[in-house]
Amino acid sequence: MKYPLASNFSYLFPNNCTLCGENIPGVDKSLCLPCQEQLPWLKNGCRYCSYPLSDSNLSGALCGQCQQTPPPFHSSHCLFRYDYPVDQLISRLKFNHQLMIGRLLGQLMAESLSVRRACEALPEAIIPMPLHRRRLRQRGFNQAYEIAFVCANRLNIPLLDNACRRIKDTPPQLALDAKARRRNLRQAFIIEKGIAHQSIAIVDDVMTTGSSMRELSRELIKAGAERIELWCIARTTIE
Give pLDDT tens digits for 43-56: 889 999 999 987 65
**67 burial via Cβ count (<10 Å: 0-12, 13-18, 19+):** exposed
Q: What is the mean pLDDT of residues 104-118?
A: 94
Domain count within the chain: 2
Q: How confident is the model at residue 4 (pLDDT cuts 50, 70, 90)?
A: very low
Question: Do 149 and 69 fall within a single domain?
Answer: yes
Query: CA 109 from chain center: how many Å?
Result: 8
Nearest C-alpha neighbor of 43 from the set 83, 5, 8: 83
Q: Using one digit for the tens of pLDDT, what is the confidence trace for 167-218?
A: 887 765 555 555 666 666 777 899 987 788 999 999 999 998 888 999 999 9
pLDDT digits (tens, 9 = 90+) for 82-99: 999 999 999 999 999 999
- β-bridge partners, 199: 227
Tell me the C-alpha distance between 25 and 62, whole Å.
42
Q: Do both 117 and 156 map to the same domain?
A: yes
Same domain, 114 and 204: yes
CB 205 within 8 A of CB 90: yes
Distance CA 206, CA 147 (A): 11
> Are residues 186 and 130 in contact, defined by beta-carbon separation less than 8 angstroms?
no
User: Are 45 and 26 members of one domain?
Assistant: no
Shared-domain flag, residues 130 and 91: yes
Domain that holds residue 20: 1-38
pLDDT (tens digit, 9 = 90+) per residue, 134-181? 989 999 999 999 999 999 999 999 999 989 999 887 765 555 555 666
The angle, 0 to 180 degrees and rounded to 10, between the axes of the packed helices 143-155 and 86-95 is 110
| Pair 93, 102: CB distance under 8 Å | yes
- Count CB atoms within 10 A of the CB of residue 89: 24
**71/28 same-domain check:** no
The whole-angstrom separation of Cα 25 and Cα 3 is 13
Q: Which amino acid is at 71?
A: P
